[in-house]
A and B are shown apart, each in its own frame.
Chain A
Amino acid sequence: MQSARTHLDHLENQSVFIFREAYRAFRNVAMPWSMGKDSNVLIWLALKSFFGKIPFPVLHIDTTYEFPEMLEFRDWATQHYQLNLIVKINAEARARGVGYETHDPVTVTHELKTVALQQAMAEHKWDALITGIRRDEDPTRAKERYFSPRNAQFEWGYKDQPPEFWGQFASTAAKGEHVRVQPLLDWTEADIWRYILREKIPIPGMYFARNGQRYRSLGCMPITKAISSEASTIEEIIAELETTRTSERAGRAQDHHERNAMQKLRAKGFL
């Protein structure tokens, strides 16, 4: 008797397919990892895709404004999943004094995340990055491809994206270019939580309510705000999502610094 596949099965199957296509198509793959919920789903799906062994490095861009609890989780998970972890800090920008204390969040995010990523790419010569972005996070991400080419300046040519259909992707990168591979593109925030619940995926404790507050989306400490919430279990978080009409990244200051801030960040190479 064949059991019907569910929505989550479908998403999982599709993500695994994309992981395997990426690993096959590119010689030098890396996967940025923020320790956030989506990132941990990504790790989980990679383990499924490759039967318990992630065959490429995992990259943490450390902005030096990380929540201590996230760093603890990072060290635990690295050990637990036997990850090949690379940590990258834009030390040059920090030495110049770039920081939230003195600069606006768009500038800091660009310097400490995007430029740090560019530095890591230059060092390791990766031709593909597997990212955890989702369409429902932001209107510009809605138009992404599963395989999304970036030029040498990290720019996203969103006006002229390659066609992508029937499971066929833009699976070659010219010299100096790289491809962003995005296995979670079709997942929604609710899908992520339901999958975490179903698979019992470990995530940092900051997502759960303490003293009437929890984090819905996690970034740098100075610019990430908690939301009012009593949701202290995954089930309660899912129930909360069913009723909320506030967007997920509302607590992420860099997105809202100016109109189209997210588009400007992404055009310059932000994930």
Chain B
Amino acid sequence: MSDEAQRLKIVFVGHVDHGKSTLIGRILHDTGSLPEGKIAAIQQACEAERMEFEYAFLLDALLEEQAQNITIDTTQIPFRTALRRYVIIDAPGHKEFLKNMITGAASADAAMLVIAANEGVREQSRRHAYLLSLLGVRQIIVVVNKLDLANYSEQAFREIEGEYRQFLSELGMTAREFVPASAKQGENVARRTDPALQWYSGHTVLEALDHVESTAALPNQPLRFCVQDIYRFDARRIIAGKIESGSLRVGDQLIFSPANKSSAVATIESWNSPAPEEAIAGDSVGITLREQIFVERGHVASHENDAPIETNRCRADIFWMAEEPLRKETEYILRVATQELKCKVVAIEQVMDSSTLATEIGERERLARNEVGRVTLQTRAPLVVDNHDRIPALGRFVLVDGGRICGGGIVFGGVYTDRTTVKSKNIFWSEGEITPTHRAKQNGHRGAVVWLTGLSGAGKSTIALALEGELFQRAMHTYVLDGDNVRHGLNSNLGFSAEDRVENIRRVGEVAKLMADSGTVVITAFISPYRLDRRRAREIALEGNAEFIEVFVDAPLQVCEERDPKHLYKKARAGQIRDFTGIDAPYEAPDDPDIVVRTDEQNVDESVATIMEQLLPRLRADDPID
């Protein structure tokens, strides 16, 4: 065993009273990790309180906790197996102490989730797994504890396993394994002795731990060097900070976001040791630059060809921990790595109950304590982020109110721009003097992008024109973008290759965004067969303050082929045109469209009415936009 290797951090979570602390106490005891003084002290405390000695007391050392029998705060304890060293993070199971659970769990490499066999899957068993997924802890061992209370019954174990597996799969998670145990009896923690557990041939708790993979640092990812401070204690101007991912070498050309200024690494500084040539993820370093550019705390250095996202608007999932609810349109401090800037939540799109996973769709004004919401954040100054699934350290943030951390979240769906092709130094969205709210007030409605998608022949263009007419009659500003007016001008240099189709949709998305920002209700009518392209179009619109409403114009392929208004299906069947959607190229139907119309069942007027009914409330001008 190497003492040099980094410790694996394991967080223990689960419903209150399911035996986490007892399991930890038992692990510490069975691995010989306790100092002598500690057992004696706890036994003394038990005698004083006239209580039976419990392994849980090893952790719950604060007086209040002994009285109440619950873990209040997170704590960390080292221990070792024959294989390697660990740090246990004990996180409280009580709902009241969610912020302490998050404090403990956020730094873990893996989680041990404890479910008591006599009680089964409970509220916190579910909520904790959901939070682990938000916190980015992906390796989970489920311990079905207190199995002695169920006579070590395999059926009791399998029932809990089945139920919980199903729950995890809904979260897109899988457990590494399910381990039956009784922490109190010491059964199947370090060893298996009771014949009643003979039906089980898998790992003990400790063996399961030893099989967890260490989440290595991230030197092979793109460089993100987050600036903490600039030091000028002597002649050197040292840029100090932490490398969150990737690596940097002396001589590397760095680009600093959001200023978008570039300079090369002159030296990597150090004290009392030779100056290194390279620094990697996890290192706290200081560098000097060749060209003296303006750099300050909050800037993020990357390599030129792989820069982070720079925006003033992003979508995120947020968990809220403060007593006072999160309110829309209220100013908070957003912290991402070392950046700190004012922000507000401009939309709370859906709220999820972290225990039942029940989703409540539809706009909300606030997010209460312990709720998780899908939101859009907006900042005044440019913000540097990554999507959480790409680079976690730059894809997670906290919201601060009154100096206190009130919530945390992860960023998704952001669009990367190739910085080498963007010549402007000012590529973030700039808000003019006239805001979307001003325009909405004058126009009597908001701008929006109404994105129709569906097979050729499904009726997109027909519906688009009819819808435009309806809106126009109501004195609304509206315009249709379709193949005809776009392909012939803006996109006349594009063909029908895969790349050109992607670019076609991107340009339409950008134009639609600008028109929507000008206050127009833009209706687009393109097959747009790929979910990814439509998602990008949505992101583009959101970046530009515009609401994006996806309408699925749905009709079975057979019906579309029978209609065949432009005889394209016929040509495709005859092999005269290739890569035709529905014939020899796929159409990816929307997973969760805002509006669906069935043109094989509804006529044009009915379809337009369906759209209008749901569209008009979303265009109302009285809600402030920014």
Chain A contact residues, CB within 8 Å of chain B = 2, 5-10, 12-14, 16-17, 20-21, 23-24, 47-53, 55, 135-136, 139-140, 142-143, 145, 158-159, 161-168, 170, 172, 174, 186, 188, 194, 199, 244-247, 250, 259-260, 263
Contact = CB atoms under 8 A, between A and B. Distances in A.
A245 B284 contact: no
B232 to A, nearest CB: 11
A164 to B, nearest CB: 5
Interface in B313-363: 321, 335, 337
B231 A259 contact: no
A167 B337 contact: yes
A101 to B, nearest CB: 28
Nearest to B335: A168
A165 B102 contact: yes
A259 B283 contact: no
B62 to A, nearest CB: 6
Main secondary structure of the interface of B (DSSP, over half): mixed
Given A13-B283, A165-B106, A139 B62 contact: yes
Contact of B61 (A5, A7, A139): A139
6 contacts: A6-B4, A7-B5, A10-B7, A21-B228, A24-B228, A260-B63
Contact of A2 (B38, B74, B238, B278): B278
A24 to B, nearest CB: 5
B73 A163 contact: no
Contact of B280 (A2, A162, A250): A2
A163 B102 contact: yes
A25 B242 CA distance: 16
A50 B35 contact: no
Contacts of A49: 240, 284
Interface stretch (B403-411, B463-471, B541-549): B403-411
A250 B37 CA distance: 8
A229 B346 CA distance: 65
Pick the 10 closest A-B CB pairs, nearest first. Answer: A139-B61, A165-B106, A247-B37, A172-B403, A16-B284, A163-B99, A142-B75, A245-B36, A6-B4, A143-B73
Contacts of A136: 77-78
B408 A165 contact: yes
B231 A140 contact: no
A220 B397 CA distance: 44
Interface residues of B, number: 69
Interface in B220-253: 228-229, 231, 233-234, 236, 238, 240-242, 247
A260 B67 CA distance: 13
B217 interface: yes
Given A162-B404, A163-B99, A7 B3 contact: yes
B159 interface: no
Contacts of A7: 3-7, 85
A159 B233 contact: no
Nearest to B105: A165
Contacts of A174: 403
A159 B242 contact: no
Contacts of A135: 75-77
B462 interface: no
A167 B219 CA distance: 19
A37 to B, nearest CB: 18
Contact of B6 (A6, A51, A55): A6
